[in-house]
Amino acid sequence: MTEEALKAESPKTGRMNLVFHRGEKSVDSKAASRNGFGKALEGRTRPETLLITKAREDNNPFSAAVFNLVETTPVMLGQGPDFAPQFVEMLKRNEDLRSRILKLLKNCDFAIRDIAIGETKLSEEILSSFPLPAELKQALAANGGTTFSTLHAISDDELSIVGMGAMDFWTQESNGTRKFFEMAVPIVSALDNGHTLYLDEYGTYLHPNLAQEQTKRIMEPAI
């Protein structure tokens, strides 16, 4: 640790006031003791440990606020199937979120009419091909996997809808559609719950019009 500092916005003036500052040698700000980050706390904190972390043991309100922010901030880094289970699980657990996403898809002129999420058992052949520890393979064998499909309308020659057809999300949908889901689900969830959301490479594989639609949604004053 070389330096650590925390500031908080005053509800009265809007100014950013120093809560504490810890330099290379020790705590060196007058506000530190007043806010629970003084010499006593520093004496119980190892040099390589953050004061904000140690202060959590004392139920320090500033520390609690910081950790609450971190714990309620979903982080979406990069793109690709490595991050897919996160949004699939979110849709699987929350029917209202699924309805919101379907409405958003319709507003963005996607042809997707519904989402199908199911469970499947993983064969021993598939599990044996995974470079995973034995206990993790056992858990996968017991819990199975999750299938994720998108449902599209099937039309006859007169353009009347006669049924629904399922497409495997991972192998049959485009990169743009997969990217839209990866981003849209956590965005809608964050807006619903008042959470902060960190997104990396937001525009990758995403059509500019879709990226703009999502940004407009976030920036709406009502939301």
Q: Does residue 86 surpass a pLDDT of 80?
A: no
218 within 8 A of 187, measured Cβ to Cβ? yes
Same domain, 141 and 56: no
144: left (phi over 0), alpha (psi -120 to 50) or beta: left
Residue 175's domain spans which residues? 75-219
Same domain, 140 and 202: yes
Number of domains in the chain: 2
Q: Residue 205: CB partners within 8 Å, gap ≥ 6? A: 79, 175, 176, 178, 179
pLDDT confidence of residue 132: 72
The residue from 20, 54, 71 where one domain ends is 71
Same domain, 106 and 67: no
Same domain, 44 and 139: no
Q: What is the pLDDT of residues 156-195, one digit of tens each?
A: 887 777 788 999 998 899 888 888 888 888 888 888 887 7
% of residues, the chain, pLDDT over 70? 92
Same domain, 114 and 190: yes
E strand map for the chain: 4-9, 16-22, 75-76, 112-120, 145-155, 161-168, 198-199
Same domain, 24 and 102: no
pLDDT confidence of residue 7: 96
Q: For residues 51 and 32, give the distance between their C-alpha atoms in angstroms, rounded to a whole number.
A: 10
Strand 161-168 versus strand 4-9 pairing type: unpaired
Q: What is the pLDDT of residues 17-33, one digit of tens each?
A: 999 999 887 888 889 99
116 within 8 A of 169, measured Cβ to Cβ? no
Q: What is the pTM of this model?
A: 0.57
Same domain, 164 and 103: yes
DSSP per-residue codes, 154-165: EE-TT--EEEEE
DSSP conformation class of 181: H
Q: What is the pLDDT of residues 195-217, one digit of tens each?
A: 777 777 776 767 788 788 777 77
Same domain, 94 and 187: yes
Q: Does residue 62 surpass a pLDDT of 50?
A: yes
173 within 8 A of 167, measured Cβ to Cβ? yes
% of residues, the chain, pLDDT over 90? 33
Same domain, 135 and 197: yes
Average pLDDT, stretch 82-102?
82
SS3 196: coil
Same domain, 89 and 193: yes
pLDDT confidence of residue 122: 72
Same domain, 124 and 198: yes
pLDDT confidence of residue 1: 62
Q: How confident is the model at residue 75 (pLDDT cuts 50, 70, 90)?
A: low
Same domain, 164 and 184: yes
Q: Which helix (H) or strand (E) holds 64?
A: helix 61-71
24 within 8 A of 84, measured Cβ to Cβ? no
